[in-house]
Amino acid sequence: MALFTGRLGRLWPLPPGGRFFLLQHVPASPSQPRAISILSDALGQPPSTSLSFRSAGIFQSIPRHLSPWSLQQIRTKARGNEYQPKNLKRKRTHGWIKRIRTPSGIEVILRRVLKGRKSLSH
């Protein structure tokens, strides 16, 4: 995998979307450097000034002097909140009227009666 190096910083190879990513070190404070990701293809053309090819792994090219705080995760869409209970949907799906109207629903109610359930349906 080829890694492009230019005057401004480090360029990663083309991802499937076809754009270059530029990693540039901009100090957040005088004592702590911070990596900023900029799309270098903002003008619609890839940079073409003094690029040289160099083969190196992605992990070997990250400088060791960066702190873990400068390489933080990007927050994305929230997960784990898919279940939003609705009482009307619960009653229509598992309620007494729904169970009584179908032969398989009657079987469910009879099974629950035989087992001794206090609540036969929702």
Q: Which DSSP helix (H) or strand (E) runs through 54?
A: strand 52-55
The answer to whether residue 71 is domain-embedded is no
> The pTM is what?
0.37
Q: Digits of tens for pLDDT over the chain (122 positions)?
A: 555 555 555 555 555 665 554 555 555 555 554 444 444 444 555 555 544 555 555 656 656 666 676 778 888 888 889 999 999 999 999 999 999 999 999 999 999 999 999 999 98
| 20 & 54 share domain | yes
At 76, which amino acid appears? T
Q: CA–CA separation, 3 vs 14, rounded Å?
A: 10
| pLDDT reported for residue 72 | 80
| pLDDT reported for residue 75 | 84
| 61 & 21 share domain | yes
| 51 & 21 share domain | yes
- Give residue 55's Cα distance to chain centre: 29
| 20 & 57 share domain | yes
Q: Around 65, how many Cα atoms within 13 Å sit in the side-chain half-sphere?
A: 6
| pLDDT reported for residue 71 | 75
β-pairing verdict for 32-39 and 52-55:
unpaired
CATH classification at residue 93: 1.10.287.3980
| pLDDT reported for residue 36 | 46
Q: Could you tell me the residue range of the domain that residue 104 belongs to?
A: 86-122
